[in-house]
Amino acid sequence: MNPVVNPAVNTSSSPAAPLLSVDGVTVRFGGLTAIDGVSFDVFPGELLGLIGPNGAGKTTMLRSITGVVRVTEGHVTLEGQRLDALPIQQRIQRGMSLSQQLVRPLRSMSVIDNVALAAGSAKTVRPLRSLLHVARTEELAVARQMLARVGIAQHADQSPATQPLGVLKRLEMARALALHPRLLLLDEPLAGLNSKEARALADTIADVNRQGVTVVLIEHNLGEVMRICSRLVVLDNGRKINEGDPRTVMNDPTVRAAYLGGDAVSHAAAQGGPHA
């Protein structure tokens, strides 16, 4: 057993055991190698930015952590336990949660019901337990709190079907937070938000992290990434090309070349100030 709860620690020299460990992960789709032998650790209390140009394999990396995608080689371990054989739902039950890039709200229920369903995870872990519990006052309270936290409390009783992308992105994150994860995986949570909203949500992410939740953040808005992340892992063409302190990493010529080789203009613009 490791005394892992030690938030807000700069872990570059910390001896703490990693919360999540990605070890030599390779993912192939047919003949295409999407991820090629990537290894990195995520330490308790960290806010790790996983960045790279479009098509670098960031989302695939995140999906192989959650189990949506099966790794071809290598291992993913959470607190020393291998996750390889576990289906998605069991990985989530072990304390990780995912805010997806492509929003997937349940459109048959209201915004707050979406979040309350996630907040009831303790009651839905087994069918029998879910049959014996009816009340959801607590879950609705938690849901309301999470919606307020991401700034969409005013949309609580509306249908997700009528909401703009910006609201749905934040709904996705509220739902992930409602699972009370120890490890929060965020896939482009700021996309589709204007600069003010993006800044506010980035502050919320930093806030959540300060309260002890370890975060892995995929984000194209490099301005916000540089502002809130404590460490970066950079992927390009499925390989890890650098890792470390944000400023040092971004000054690395290889990283710059990777971005300039891609759609450099929009990212340079994003660095100056995110566009809506």
Partner 1 sequence: MEYEISLLTTMGISVLFALSLNLITGFCGQISLGHAAFLGIGAYTAAMAGKAGVPFLATLPIAMVLAGAVGIVVGLASLRVRADFLAITTMGVGFLFVGFVRQQDWLGGELGVSGIASTGLSKTAFMALTLALCVAAAALSLYIRAAWMGRVFNGIAEDEDTMRVLGIDAPRYKLVAFAIGTALAGLAGALYAYQLKFIDPGSFGFVDSVTVLSMVVVGGIGSVTGVAIAAALLSALPAWFQFIGDYKLLMYGGLLFLMMRFAPGGLAALAERFFTPTPDSGEPSQP
Residues that bind partner 1 (CB under 8 A): 66, 68, 87-90, 92-93, 97-98, 100, 104-109, 113, 117-118, 120-121, 123-127, 129-134, 136, 175, 179
Considering beta carbons, is residue 85 or 134 the nearer one to partner 1?
A: 134
Considering beta carbons, is residue 125 or 148 the nearer one to partner 1?
A: 125
State how far the Cα of 101 lies from the Cα of 191, in Å rounded to an integer. 8
Measured between alpha carbons, how far is residue 35 from residues 112, 140, 217 in Å?
36, 40, 18
> Least Å distance between CB 76 and partner 1?
16
Instruction: Tell which residue, 144, 170, 174, has the closest CA to residue 156.
Output: 144
Question: Helices H, strands E: what count in the chain?
Answer: 12, 10
Considering beta carbons, is residue 160 or 238 the nearer one to partner 1?
A: 160
What do you get for the CA distance between the two ends of the chain, in Å? 45
Considering beta carbons, is residue 149 or 267 the nearer one to partner 1?
A: 149
State how far the Cα of 91 lies from the Cα of 203, in Å rounded to an integer. 27
> Least Å distance between CB 32 and partner 1?
22
Residue 224: count other Cβ atoms within 10 Å of its Cβ: 26
Asked if 244 and 237 touch (Cβ cutoff 8 Å), the reply is no
> Least Å distance between CB 186 and partner 1?
13
State how far the Cα of 15 lies from the Cα of 23, in Å rounded to an integer. 18
> Least Å distance between CB 48 and partner 1?
20
> Least Å distance between CB 87 and partner 1?
7
> With 0-12 CB in 10 A as exposed, 13-18 as middle and 19+ as buried, what is 219?
buried
> Least Å distance between CB 62 and partner 1?
11
Considering beta carbons, is residue 75 or 123 the nearer one to partner 1?
A: 123
Considering beta carbons, is residue 123 or 144 the nearer one to partner 1?
A: 123
